[in-house]
Structure 1
Amino acid sequence: MRYLMLVVEPDVPDRGPDADIEDWVRRHDGDGSRVLGERLRPAADVRRVQVRDGRTVVTDGPFTETKDVIGGFDVIEAPDLESALAIAAEHPGSWGGGTVEVHPFWPTESPART
């Protein structure tokens, strides 16, 4: 099953290189569990898009509603949720003050629920 891991962290402009994440990426790229992942730009570069009454509204970040941002993401393959959670627990983004959210994908062979 495929999972999206969102790395949620305090908003800081430049986190710099991180040897821990490079090691995690190497290990999970090597065992085939990591499908895709990227670091994301700071909240000041984020834009929210909403359509209200047929009008597109674009809001610049950072957003006052939160002090945390999605700092990056990884798409992983795991046989079950327990395995996906174990992979997330190894992610350096889950250590210290960070959080890794694990979101299961809808199976592609089933229609999305509303």
Structure 2
Amino acid sequence: MRYLMLVLSGPQDPDPTGGDASSVPPIEDWVDRYYGDGTASAGDRLRPPEDAVGVRVRGGKVLVTDGPFSESKEAIGGFDVIEAPDLDTAITVASEHPMAHLGAIELRPCWPLDLDGQQGGDR
């Protein structure tokens, strides 16, 4: 099953350059392991919320809104797409990501579109 790992951080999280960071595994090790073995297939850091643009179509008009959009202090700082046989394995992969130690990881199972009748469209 495919999972999206949203990498979250907020102002209450430990400083990545502070003393708490000494026990955090290096991101390079996580990338080498999970991209190297094919578990992770895509991912990147994201620009800050101020750089986001919202796009909506209402009444046939395209409306573009500059970010940030959320009232939350927590922001999505990046993402990874992983493949895991079950939720427990996905949780293990997510728990080994450095940002699980400094921020949080939101793990979401993908819900494939059933466009060609080949993929499972059930929840």
Please indicate the TM-score interval, normalised by the length of the shorter structure.
0.7 to 0.9
Larger radius of gyration: 2
Runs of 4+ aligned residues of structure 1 deviating over 6 Å after TM superposition are none
The offset of 1:73, in angstroms, is 0.5
Unpaired runs of at least 5, structure 2: 17-24, 114-118
Alignment match of 1:95 (pick from 79, 97, 101)? 101
> What residue is the counterpart of 1:37 in the other structure?
43
Q: Distance in 1 between matches of 2:41 and 2:34?
A: 9
Higher share of residues assigned strand: 1
Residue identity over aligned pairs, in percent, reads 54
> What residue is the counterpart of 1:59 in the other structure?
65
Q: Distance in 2 between matches of 1:32 and 1:112?
A: 25
The offset of 1:111, in angstroms, is 3.2
Q: TM-score, normalised by structure 2?
A: 0.75
Unpaired runs of at least 5, structure 1: none
Alignment match of 1:111 (pick from 111, 116, 121)? 121
Q: 1:107 to 1:57 in 2, by over 3 A?
A: closer
Q: Distance in 1 between matches of 2:84 and 2:72?
A: 30
What RMSD over aligned residues (CA atoms) do the two structures have, in Å?
Answer: 2.5
Q: TM-score, normalised by structure 1?
A: 0.80
> What letter corresponds to residue 5 of structure 2 in structure 1?
M
Matched residue pairs, number? Answer: 108
